[in-house]
Structure 1
Amino acid sequence: MLILGSTSARRKEIIEKLNIPFKVVSPNFNEDELDINLDPLVYVQTNALNKALSLKEVFPNDTILTADTIVVFEGEILNKPLDEADAYLMLKKLANNEHIVYTACTLIKDGKVEQFYDKAIVYFKHYSDVEILDYINTGEPMDKAGSYGIQGHGAKLIDKYEGSFYTIMGLPLDMVKEKLGL
């Protein structure tokens, strides 16, 4: 059985597209313990790996898939906002700018640990403070890296993107299918 080590509703929604049996389990790893000043790619891959390793002993005979997604703007990692003020500051930075989204995955299958990641570039429109506050009032930004979700109300902030929609959403679907042999 596939164990999806994630509490993200978005990742669950993406995995459901594969039409395979899976179980959602919360990893036993506190992401806040990792140094936010690490190189962004090291940070996101380490988070995904630590999530998977936290589940390995509990599910030794299952396939485990974990992921982590971060937004990087001018070298700075923008994780989930701490509060509405933090969300506002992030969205203000991203307005009329481009940023990178990294989603790293760890797959433990047949005792082997494999890591992979994907990268996308997102270009935000110019938008006003009122539009930022209206978006924050939807509640959507509060549990998302960079304070936005491409699949929801946040889509109106985006001008265009390069790369996989699913990578930006939180799980690079095509890569996961390939790694699972589907």
Structure 2
Amino acid sequence: MSASIYLASQSPRRRELLEQINIGYELLSASIDETPLDNEAAADYVKRLAVEKARAGQAFATENKPVLGADTIVVIDEKLLGKPRDQEHAISMLMALSNRQHQVMTAVALVLDDEVVCDVVTTSVTFRAISEQEALNYWHSGEPKDKAGGYGIQGLGGQFVEKIDGCYFAVVGLPLMKTQQLIAELLSTQK
């Protein structure tokens, strides 16, 4: 598999998903400020971060290939749940998600030269009831520490998921069909 795009993400899950659909990539650094703007809607926020990550990665690109940036957020009651700061924050997020439905939004952005394509995929996820002890045990597994909303659906966190409505891969961190569509769309504008 030869590198056909750059990936401006440190997420091992995004790398695995690109490999799953046979898209070659080369990693680039993409450090950005992820602070939400005042009154920024969740979908606008996640799109902005994906585009900023792709543009930050583009600054390090040595070849003229698409740069993919992505970001995933969890939203409940119009409140953004990012990565947990500490144990207390993680438990509080998991208890807020317990026995409720929330949305996971993943934005995918690709840039090439001055062209930008970006879209957001939203999936509804319903959790079963979770006890505080289960949330604490989950925290001690180490899995939630770097995950938006404090859980990973593809790991131990999957035990809390009662149902999903939408794209499973978007919840993991990269909607595969949308990613392929955006790559094709961007490359078609280059001809």
TM bucket normalised to smaller:
over 0.9
1:41 to 37, 43, 53: 43
Give the corresponding residue for 2:168.
165
1:153 to 156, 159, 170: 156
Give TM-score scaled by structure 1 length: 0.94
Give the corresponding residue for 1:2.
5
Letter of the 2:52 partner, please give it: N
C-alpha distance in structure 2 between counterparts of 1:52 and 1:81, whole Å: 24
C-alpha distance in structure 2 between counterparts of 1:156 and 1:2, whole Å: 34
Deviations 1:60-82 (CA, angstroms, capped at 9, x unpaired):
61210010000000000000010
Give the corresponding residue for 1:26.
29
C-alpha distance in structure 2 between counterparts of 1:170 and 1:117, whole Å: 11
In percent, how many aligned pairs have the same letter? 36
Give the corresponding residue for 1:122.
125
Give the corresponding residue for 2:70.
67
Q: Equivalent residue of 1:105, what SS? A: strand
2:87 to 55, 60, 84: 84
Q: Equivalent residue of 1:181, what SS? A: helix
Deviation at 1:26, TM superposition (A): 2.3
C-alpha distance in structure 2 between counterparts of 1:130 and 1:21, whole Å: 41
> What is the Cα-based RMSD across aligned positions, in Å?
1.6
Deviation at 1:179, TM superposition (A): 2.0
CA contact under 8 A between 2:90 and 2:150: conserved in structure 1? yes
C-alpha distance in structure 2 between counterparts of 1:25 and 1:163, whole Å: 29
Question: More deviation in 169-178 or 34-43?
Answer: 34-43
In the alignment, structure 2 segments of 5+ residues that lack a partner are 186-191
In the alignment, structure 1 segments of 5+ residues that lack a partner are none
Letter of the 2:46 partner, please give it: V
Give TM-score scaled by structure 2 length: 0.89
Give the corresponding residue for 1:177.
180
Letter of the 1:21 partner, please give it: G
Letter of the 1:50 partner, please give it: E
Deviations 1:127-163 (CA, angstroms, capped at 9, x unpaired):
2111111111101011000000000000001100000
CA contact under 8 A between 1:36 and 1:43: conserved in structure 2? no
